[in-house]
Amino acid sequence: MAYYHILKERRTNLKLSIQDVSNQTRLAPQYIQAIEENNLDVFSDDLSFVRYFVHAYSDAIGVNWQAISDEVDMDVNEFAHQRDMALTMAQRRMVEQMASVQRSKKTTKKRKKKSSSAWFQKHVSRTSSSLSTNQTKVIKVLVLIGIVGLCALSAINVGLRSISNQKLANQEELRQQELSKKEKETNKLANQRQKEKEAQALVVKKITGETNAYQLSNIQDDVKTLDLIITLPSKSKITVKKDGEAVNDTSKTYTGTFTQNLELSENCTFEISIETYSDNDITVDGKEIDFDKTNWQEESPAVITLQVGKGNQNVNVDTDSQDESSYDYGYGTDSYYNDNLYTQEDGIYGQNEYTEQTNNY
């Protein structure tokens, strides 16, 4: 299919009128119609603009210019060649007609000479010979003028093409500069947006002096929840607590991928416990959370603490630092604090005596 048929079909498929394309490309509607009808006579004053117009038309409706550019150049060159040939033939016919007129005049004069007297005929014969010589010279001059004119026209045409090509080259250079400028602006804007995105990203930092405890910061005001994702190579129970209260179904055994929305408060603490830990991948809003296996025993739950703000001060999440007084030392915690069970009246140690006795152990 010819390129001008492709352009017209593409325009009609897009349901665009010639005026719509004219408004978009700023080309006159008659130029767009001439391109679609392959009527290059419209551009006969300067064929160099055809390539530029077709290029602009192609870009406007989404046709690949590179795919049709060779065909456009071939079409323009063929039209220019035919136009030049037609001009040359017209000039030749003009010269031939002028020579024919001169020969016709010569024949007419000869007939008049035959009807004259011998003396006059002789005199006219000499004059005719002189005129014939002059006419031959005139014909040669006319032919020479025609050739010179043809060469001049060709030179003018070449000059116009050169000027037009230079103009197109300058326009293309300006277009490339504009594209380069826009590309730089786009890259600058993209980098700026990337920096803004990074500045707004969640920050996860280990809490100094504590194992598997992390501080979450840089949380934006409009963020109300964080996404917790845990991969589970094997089946496992997971417990997620916020300020000591479970926020998920702790009776369920999870497989595949565990997800949980962590609803945020100004100061809160999340505790994540993985019953069967097996190098699980743990992320909060895409930020990786590492589990430190130091002092962790196999087949025991993996516990990770996440603190938002100052955390909930009423929740003790550091199970490794429990006070030794919480252990019963074989007596049980209830007997340690219950004054009613151990009183002096029963002959059994009271609270103060019990404490003193215990400290002697």
pLDDT at 84 over 60: yes
Give the C-alpha separation, 272 to 246, whole Å. 10
pLDDT band at 13 (very low <50, low <70, confident <90, very high): very high
| The pLDDT of residue 143 | 87
Closest CA to 33 of 62, 61, 11: 11
Average pLDDT over residues 22-34: 92
SS3 260: strand
Contact between 282 and 288 under an 8 Å Cβ cutoff? The reply is yes
Q: Structural domains in the chain?
A: 3-181 (1.10.260.40), 205-321 (no CATH), 324-359 (no CATH)
Of 146-150, 225-229, 298-302, the range with the highest mean pLDDT is 225-229
pLDDT at 71 over 70: yes
pLDDT, tens digit, 9 for 90 and up, residues 197-221:
777 789 999 999 889 999 999 998 8
pLDDT at 242 over 90: yes
Higher pLDDT, 106 or 251: 251
Task: Give the percent of the chain with pLDDT over 70.
Answer: 78
pLDDT, tens digit, 9 for 90 and up, residues 122-150:
665 676 666 667 778 788 888 889 899 88
Alpha carbon distance, N-terminus to C-terminus of the chain? 104
pLDDT at 77 over 60: yes
Of 77-91, 173-187, 256-270, the range with the highest mean pLDDT is 256-270
Query: How many other β-carbons are positioned within 10 Å of the β-carbon of residue 20?
Result: 16
| The pLDDT of residue 131 | 62
pLDDT at 330 over 50: no
Q: Which two tokens stand for residue 121?
A: 């005929």
Q: How many helices (H) and strands (E) does the chain have?
A: 8, 9
Give the C-alpha separation, 49 to 53, whole Å. 6
How many alpha carbons fall within 13 Å on the CB side of residue 162? 6
Contact between 202 and 308 under an 8 Å Cβ cutoff? The reply is no
Give the C-alpha separation, 282 to 215, whole Å. 15
pLDDT band at 361 (very low <50, low <70, confident <90, very high): very low
Regarding beta strands 213-217 and 225-242, do their DSSP bridges make them parallel or antiparallel, or are they unpaired? unpaired
Average pLDDT over residues 244-270: 92
Task: Name the burial class of residue 275, with classes exposed (0-12), middle (13-18) and buried (19+) by CB atoms within 10 angstroms of its CB.
Answer: middle
Q: Name, in order, each residue with C-beta under 8 angstroms of 311's C-beta and a sequence gap of 6 or more.
A: 267, 268, 269
Contact between 267 and 216 under an 8 Å Cβ cutoff? The reply is no
